[in-house]
Structure 1
């Protein structure tokens, strides 16, 4: 998903090394010679497409991101069926979604982290590399045949190598998509568009025209009132507007942007494109087309405004459209029609900003010393990277939660609901069974990823799939010393960007002070920060051609 890479601070530490990912097998094999005492429970004949089943009962601890929409239950079918199929029992260490990153850092720092640490968005793992707390998983790819198979078949090496550190290794096992998957856009009241005799907008400029018409007809509204402002103010909104300008901002914030014209990295928050994002949103707020509370309100407040006819446009994905907005409107405005539209186009052209890499898994360094280490890596490979494991995590148990026809089409069993596919179902795939769980179910072949999609969502995806992906930035892997240095500048810089972005957008600081703002970024070491990144880029280019 676009937002999965969007929400986290990013350093341009990509390393597209001349050493092929798959060509690193000699290194893996050498590492494997030292694993003779770590194979208890492992299968001797495990390979791509093989059902993993430990040769004796095993248990592994896992950090569990406890989502409020489907709180953890011990009696989920997911747990018992997983053990039945793999002979592995997972021991979840549950952490609330709201505290996940902070608790994860504390557990790793204290040496108390579980063996398996999912829901890690690159480059969050960077913070744990120099301490040696997490495993260089690239050393152990020979233990993961399904993962290696997907990298080869889907030509994922360029994306994968963006995870590498300056030592040439990577420390995160990402979820993989066969094709980019753009998930987030905006939803709008198409019945209001029909009333105003206006077409669905395709660009951000056309949206401005639509919002003006809505405001003229309904002067007491803010036509666009957004959600997802916590903990990152305007996170999703800045992401999708930024993407239209060729930037990773908001949820997808990346402080370093590659400038192909200048052939160097520049600081994102100081670019002309970023200024244009701010200018556009400032215009919407100044003309009362965008609710200024979009950057501070709770999701519930944003939903209520939409449900009460106080707004007509809101950030959305397929689930929120079906699970949140339409049921809300059905209670208050039953004749309203709400549609998620393709991502709006801006100066960057018709692009799909989604990545083929998902959030992923870190492995605690202490796992390497376990007698069950090889079995654990085989288990992870099966659950997260085999087609059987991906199907199980997403859909559950055939005949109990789903059926599949001869053409491979999935259907939920009649009493099971998910994303409104069986609205009369009394049981929910996530809440009652534990499947479709974001800790375990993501990525995979295109038909599996799209298997929950309604015909309406498929129309959205077909439009997005026809667009060109954003190019992968050139590599600039930082050394431990460089990363330690930039970490001192990173947070103060980002905080200053976020604070002043909001001030500019909300009119609390005039845009005539843009040059002064640029000077403030320089004073906070923006130039030094980008200098380090460009030095790393030049070093890599020199060393690798």
Structure 2
């Protein structure tokens, strides 16, 4: 049996006796932490809006996801300009995006992770808490005035509460948006729609009809062949996330083992929900009718893109960047080919958008970072780069006069030779590829104005439609105690893996949907009932403490 560390025993005892209120950043007090000997390079006075610059040259190790669309380069302007502005040199451990999640978990669990561990999606951090390898970052928010300022101004306390454990702490610093933001959807070849006299689909039933018409016109092809089947999650990450949202559940990238059933007032097992079955039934129909390429759930991105580029498929997952940077370039050789990102199709759950979209992937801090004499400087640096207005502008737009200009009204414009997301198609240099800015490791979150400064007219129309939809409520907190977290961690992976395995079997006709009840019973054998009971116990305890 796993043996609790002294720290975890103390946390458990403290959680049992504590009257700590979980909501609000005001409860997080760096003053309770002993940071003597850890302030080398830190600014004595550092407040929201200040330019951070270490008082001596410092280096911090960081885990870096290398995006296939703009692979890591050591000579990016981003690195040298960052050092010039902050006196900080980042030392990256570079990991390809396809391996990132798995290698991150292995390195963190082994205690070998760099100090700064970005690009982590909640609740992935929860499985790493019990091992004690990551810091409760909420203990150090007083070192992060920009983060605290934006949380207060944008009223994000309740969003952050969903990240907190029973000890009142959270272990992931999320990217934070001023407003709800939805990007990922589907791309559709509009020239094919026009040729077949079809309209842009507004619902999933519309999309079904469109795919059937495409199949009739092109009987030897799969109208849709999808991407983003990134290990270790098997297949359909974006497609199943979109579909599950339309049906009122969670799958793919949006999957969590426990889903809050508002009508029942409790959490239920996501993979056993009726809505999950309905979603699988629809996906199975697309595969059975040969409208969706079954390889969508196993193929690499390059394979999916190649099929789209060769005119072998007409529908594929996308976001604003991949639409412009990849898909439009991919089909450029097809005469008259055009493609757009369509608003997310609407399903039985109505016209909505995820309410949790104000929080994005975030940063974990390795426990060993606390041993550094530069720890305070590191937290100040993170606060400036990821959460200050100036740091966010720098990470996204780059260097004024080199990659962009700004007029008297504050409007930013790319310099004539620089392009990104199709804003300056004639530009010979790319903001991401050639300079390292607008990198998903650093450039996320921020004000609505900053985010929209990159919108093309068509993206503005997409956002206008998505913003007109009702934002779904954020699920309530269900913080585990240390002991509960240990037990939950033992069960969660087995449940999740089995749900994913059977999900693909149901979709790909490797298992009949008539086996649904048998499958649900099999989940019980994976400790699913005990897990959901544990989740609801934690939820009820939190609800009772916060009426």
- Normalised by the shorter chain, which TM-score bucket? over 0.9
Contact 2:39 2:376 in 1 (8 A): yes
Q: Does 1:239 align with 2:241?
A: yes
How many angstroms does 1:230 deviate by?
3.0
Which SS does the other structure have where 1:257 is aligned?
strand
TM-score using structure 2 length: 0.92
Paired position in structure 2 for 1:346: 347
Structure 1 runs (4+) greater than 6 angstroms displaced: none
2:185 paired with 1:181: no
Q: Tell me, yes or no, if the aligned pair for 2:163 and 2:477 is still in contact at 8 Å.
A: no
Aligned equivalents of 1:69 and 1:199: distance in 2?
31
SS of the aligned residue for 1:403 comes to: strand
Partner of 1:301: 303
8 Å CA contact 2:164, 2:477 repeated in 1: no
Match of 2:466 among 464, 467, 476: 464
Shift of 1:489: 2.2
Instruction: Quickly say closer, same or farther: Cα 1:145–1:342, change in 2 above 3 A.
Output: same
The alignment partner of 1:38 has SS state of coil
Match of 2:199 in 1: 199
Change (3 A) 1:282 1:104: closer
Counterpart in 1 of 2:371? 369
Task: Quote the Cα distance in structure 2 between the aligned partners of 1:230 and 1:314.
Answer: 15
Distance 2:454 2:343 in 1: 18
Describe how 1:3-82 pairs up with structure 2 within 5 A. 18-25=21-28, 27-31=29-33, 34-82=34-82
Equivalence for 2:160: 160
Q: 1:97 to 1:192 in 2, by over 3 A?
A: closer
Kindly indicate whether residue 133 of structure 2 is the aligned counterpart of residue 130 of structure 1.
no
Query: For residues 228 and 79 of structure 2, what CA distance do their matches in structure 1 show?
Result: 31
The residue number in structure 1 matching 2:221 is 221
Q: What runs of 5+ residues in structure 2 fail to find an aligned partner?
A: 1-19
Aligned-residue offset at 1:85: 0.9
Measured in 2, the distance between the counterparts of 1:184 and 1:451 equals: 18
Matches within 5 A, 1:82-481: 82-231=82-231, 232-331=234-333, 333-353=334-354, 355-481=357-483
Q: 1:539 to 1:274 in 2, by over 3 A?
A: same
Deviations 1:467-523 (A, max 9, x none): 122211122111222222222222222222222212221222222211111111122
For residues 41 and 295 of structure 1, what CA distance do their matches in structure 2 show?
48
Rounded Cα–Cα distance in structure 2 between residues aligned with 1:293 and 1:96: 22
Match of 1:483 among 471, 480, 485: 485
Q: Deviations over 1:34-91 (max 9, x none)?
A: 3343222221221111111112222212122222322222222111111111111112
Moved more, 321-330 or 154-163: 321-330
Answering whether residue 501 of structure 2 is matched by residue 496 of structure 1, we say no
Q: How many angstroms does 1:18 deviate by?
A: 4.1
Output the TM-score relative to the length of structure 1.
0.93
Q: Call closer, same or farther: CA 1:117–1:528 in 2, change over 3 Å.
A: same
CA-atom RMSD in angstroms? 1.7
Q: Which runs of 5+ in 1 are unaligned?
A: 1-16
**CA 1:101/1:528 → structure 2, altered by over 3 Å: closer, same or farther?**
same
